[in-house]
């Protein structure tokens, strides 16, 4: 019975980005019994190759689909060059806007042309700075990106300032943080991500966002993020 959970279909895609001035890769997970005549929800993942290899998200999604706990979905995993990650994901990164433009104006249309995705059911997410940049994408284009997965979001003081006085009743967000993440090394020094996530969560609540907030035992590693993915997937894609 367990064996079938390991069987998965992953396509490799590649496109040239004018915004990032480089070739970008994407891994596309297709659900069991994939049908080109059916439109599927879509989950776009930052640090996408890590979500497949370290988060085991494809195997976990297959299992949840088989158990009728979530609807079948397509997942688009976007790898990042590690030396450029902070520049492309951080709010103070000099390539963040170019990355957001790539995701919205290049990658999304590329996927829409090739795969039957439901444009009303798009989710974008990531861990740490991947969760941060996903939120920034949503704030720039809420008509498209109104569902966000943020695992241990590396929120900086700028994030709270950016969110202040905004109405966020259009936003659905899964937000989690590990209770051991009180001094996480980042590009701006060690940061108390528990404190930062609590601040941002309070803003989400006050602004009317639909937020599923989780505090749990765990640190800033894939061991923590992998365990909670079934709950996150059911938040967005429950049948």
Q: Coil, strand, or helix at residue 216? A: strand
Least confident of 29-33, 41-45, 187-191, 231-235: 187-191
> Is 60's pLDDT higher than 90?
yes
> Is 5's pLDDT higher than 50?
no
Check residues 166 and 152 and name the one with the higher pLDDT. 152
The H or E element containing residue 98 is helix 96-101
Mean predicted confidence (pLDDT) in 107-120: 97
CB 72 within 8 Å of CB 8? no
Between the alpha carbon of residue 120 and those of residues 33, 77, 86, 143, 192, the distances in Å are 22, 19, 30, 9, 35
Q: Which two tokens stand for residue 128?
A: 């740490």
Mean predicted confidence (pLDDT) in 31-45: 96
> Is 187's pLDDT higher than 50?
yes
- How confident is the model over 124-138, as pLDDT tens digits? 999 999 999 999 999
DSSP annotation of 105 reads I
Q: Which two tokens stand for residue 133?
A: 């940049």
CATH number reported for the structural domain that contains residue 99 in this entry: 3.40.50.1820
Q: Phi first, then psi: what are they for 171, rounded to 5°?
A: -100, 130
As for how many domains the chain has, the answer is 1
DSSP β-ladder status, 172-178 and 74-78? unpaired
Residue 148 structural domain: 3-237
pLDDT class of 7 with cuts at 50, 70, 90:
low
């Amino acid at each position: 019975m367990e064996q079938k959970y390991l069987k998965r279909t992953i396509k490799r895609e590649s496109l040239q980005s004018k915004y990032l001035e480089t070739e970008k890769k994407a891994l596309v997970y297709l659900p069991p019994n994939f049908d080109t005549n059916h439109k599927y929800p879509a989950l776009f993942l930052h640090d996408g190759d890590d979500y497949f290899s370290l988060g085991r998200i494809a195997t976990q999604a297959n299992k949840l689909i088989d158990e009728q706990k979530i609807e079948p979905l397509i997942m688009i995993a976007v790898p990042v060059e590690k030396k450029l990650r902070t520049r492309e994901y951080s709010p103070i990164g000099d390539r963040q806007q170019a990355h957001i433009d790539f995701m919205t104006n290049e990658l999304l249309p590329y996927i829409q042309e090739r795969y039957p995705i439901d444009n009303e059911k798009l989710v974008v997410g990531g861990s740490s700075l991947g969760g941060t940049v996903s939120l920034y994408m949503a704030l720039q284009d809420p008509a498209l990106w109104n569902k966000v997965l943020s695992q241990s979001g590396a929120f900086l003081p700028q994030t709270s300032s950016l969110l202040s006085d905004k109405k966020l009743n259009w936003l659905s967000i899964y937000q989690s943080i590990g209770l051991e993440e009180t001094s996480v090394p980042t590009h701006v020094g060690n940061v108390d991500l528990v404190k930062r996530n609590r601040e941002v969560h309070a803003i989400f609540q006050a602004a009317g966002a639909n937020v599923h907030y989780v505090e749990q035992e765990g640190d800033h590693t894939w061991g923590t993020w992998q365990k909670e993915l079934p709950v996150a997937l059911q938040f967005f894609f429950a049948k």
